[in-house]
């Protein structure tokens, strides 16, 4: 199996899920093939970044130079994974992927995109529209919109600034709690109700790896139904793609 490098710690709650599911699903896969002895698992190296640092280094939209320090901190983490012998890397975070091209400049190992994995999952539902919910960086970016459009799915128009700021505040506070409080779940549903006019034709992307923690019964499901909505668990979709690549 290929050695997996993980950029984690942003936030640690979702990094735990990446580690847990990579091992649980690997065990389940290999027990069917090799019932005797301990089940095989991938070799994993985690480079845990400091969320307070990466958050403080976020740049300003439209000012490319302002992102240089942010990109470099993440890039250095990837290079440490590369130097540690990882065959490929994943970033257990949606926000970093909004600048994937810039962050991976000078990095030789492949960094498996969460956006591609999630866009594939969304398209597979047959949805024609998608609502992208995540951090301020993610919701202001067109990265998801471009990948979804290539698969025939139209992403929501840019949401109003008040909603974007509200989502960022909820992620920073409610979704970093352990466990995620019930009011965070209800608040997330209220946002969906406001911006989804046709639930049968819309996939809601939980495009922050902490957001799926509000649905503890669906942590292993890339796609699931809840309260009349179709959700894409971006963590689960990304982890499945990573394990498939590791196993080959």
Q: What DSSP string describes 210-239?
A: TGGGG-GGGTT-SEEEETTEEEEEHHHHHH
| Local confidence band at 48 (pLDDT 50, 70, 90 cut-offs) | very high
* Among 114, 77, 141, CA closest to 211: 114
Statement to judge: residues 43 and 107 lie in one domain: yes
Statement to judge: residues 33 and 132 lie in one domain: no
Statement to judge: residues 90 and 126 lie in one domain: no
Over 80: is that where the pLDDT of 37 sits? no
Parent domain of 82: 4-113+239-247
DSSP for 69-100 reads HHHHHHHHHHHHHHHTT-SEEEES-SGGGGGH
Residue-wise pLDDT for 116-170, tens only, equals 999 999 999 999 999 999 999 999 999 999 999 999 999 986 689 999 999 999 9
Statement to judge: residues 167 and 185 lie in one domain: yes
Q: What is the CATH number of the domain that holds 208?
A: 3.40.50.1860
Statement to judge: residues 124 and 97 lie in one domain: no
Output phi, psi for 28, to 5 deg: -60, -40
| Local confidence band at 49 (pLDDT 50, 70, 90 cut-offs) | very high
Statement to judge: residues 109 and 119 lie in one domain: no
In the chain, the number of structural domains is: 2
Quick check: 151 and 180 in contact, CB under 8 A?
no
Question: Which structure tokens are listed for 72?
Answer: 């470099």
Statement to judge: residues 119 and 227 lie in one domain: yes
Statement to judge: residues 165 and 222 lie in one domain: yes
Mean pLDDT, the chain, integer: 94
Over 90: is that where the pLDDT of 96 sits? yes
Residue-wise pLDDT for 202-247, tens only, equals 999 999 999 999 999 999 999 999 999 999 999 999 999 999 999 9
Statement to judge: residues 229 and 129 lie in one domain: yes
Statement to judge: residues 76 and 168 lie in one domain: no
Statement to judge: residues 50 and 155 lie in one domain: no
Statement to judge: residues 154 and 94 lie in one domain: no
What does DSSP assign to residue 65? G
């Amino acid at each position: 199996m290929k050695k997996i490098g993980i950029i984690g710690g942003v936030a640690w709650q979702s990094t735990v899920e990446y580690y847990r599911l990579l091992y649980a699903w690997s065990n389940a896969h290999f027990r069917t093939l090799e019932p005797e002895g301990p089940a095989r698992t991938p070799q994993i190296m985690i480079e845990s970044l400091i969320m307070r640092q990466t958050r403080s280094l976020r740049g300003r939209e439209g000012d490319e130079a302002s992102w240089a320090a942010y990109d470099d901190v993440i890039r250095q983490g990837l290079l440490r994974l590369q130097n540690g012998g990882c065959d490929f890397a994943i970033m257990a975070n949606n926000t970093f992927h909004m600048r994937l091209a810039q962050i991976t400049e000078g990095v030789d190992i492949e960094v498996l995109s969460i956006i591609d994995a999630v866009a594939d999952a969304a398209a597979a539902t047959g949805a024609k529209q998608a609502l992208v919910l995540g951090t301020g960086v993610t919701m202001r970016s067109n990265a998801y919109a471009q990948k979804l459009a290539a698969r025939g799915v139209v992403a929501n128009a840019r949401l109003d600034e008040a909603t974007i700021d509200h989502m960022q505040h909820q992620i920073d506070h409610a979704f970093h709690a352990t466990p995620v409080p019930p009011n965070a779940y209800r608040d997330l549903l209220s946002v969906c109700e406001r911006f989804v006019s046709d639930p049968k034709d819309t996939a809601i992307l939980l495009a922050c790896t902490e957001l799926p923690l509000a649905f503890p019964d669906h942590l292993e499901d890339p796609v699931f139904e809840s309260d009349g909505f179709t959700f894409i668990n971006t963590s689960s979709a990304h982890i499945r793609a990573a394990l498939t690549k590791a196993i080959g």
